[in-house]
Amino acid sequence: MIDLQAGGAFRLLVYKFSRQPGSTKHIDRDALAPEDWGQELIKLPRGGLIVLDLTLEAVGEGILVTGTADCTLEGQCARCLTPFERPTEVTFQELFVYEGHAADDEDVSRVVAEIIDLEPVVRDAIVLDLPLAPLCEENCAGLCAECGANLNEEPDHSHGEKADARWAGLSDWVPSQSGE
């Protein structure tokens, strides 16, 4: 019922899809991220595989698309800077209003020339789900503030006397002030 040859894996050609309210169609589809989605610390990189599991349902004014997108994010831990990859799944739902149907909001998604373009919907679902401060693991111990050692790899890391070097520097400074 759905022509899978519509240009672009995010685009669904729906001219054969019944507009009878209640009609449903399930579609599994793979797509590739056309560009980096996200930001420096965490993103779905360009070319990353997105596995889409979609259900289309005809409703009165359009086609309601409900779906999940599975992909693997590339990130860098905000605490210890270690690169990591992490599978994720996001869900989304979007109503695509038929051409010619008035909509309350002019910003609604539309069926255009019998095509539904899922790219903005999938992109937003993935990008809005990204953490602001990605961590390699929830309890990441981060880096030593003194020397940058990874405290996940060296849980007993300590500088002992070296930590006192800061105070040694301060005591040098105090006499020079009092000497004026």
Q: Which residues bind Zn ion (CB under 5 A)?
A: 77, 79-80, 136, 140, 144, 146-147, 149
Q: Nearest-CA neighbor of 158 among 171, 175, 141, 170? A: 141
Kindly report the number of other CB atoms within 10 A of residue 102's CB atom. 7
85, 74 in Cβ contact below 8 A?
yes
Minimum distance, C-beta of residue 36 to Zn ion, in the bound complex (Å): 21
Minimum distance, C-beta of residue 98 to Zn ion, in the bound complex (Å): 48
Nearer to Zn ion, 112 or 163 (CB): 163
Please spell the DSSP secondary structure of 158-174, one letter per residue.
--GGGGGHHHHHHHHHH
Nearer to Zn ion, 25 or 79 (CB): 79
Measured distance CA(142)–CA(179) in Å, rounded: 41
> 141: which DSSP letter?
-
Nearer to Zn ion, 45 or 142 (CB): 142
Partners of residue 162 on adjacent β-strands: none
Q: Where are the beta strands (DSSP E) in 98-141?
A: 109-110, 115-117
Nearer to Zn ion, 83 or 179 (CB): 83
Minimum distance, C-beta of residue 80 to Zn ion, in the bound complex (Å): 3
Minimum distance, C-beta of residue 41 to Zn ion, in the bound complex (Å): 11
Minimum distance, C-beta of residue 149 to Zn ion, in the bound complex (Å): 4
Nearer to Zn ion, 23 or 72 (CB): 72
Measured distance CA(123)–CA(86) in Å, rounded: 17
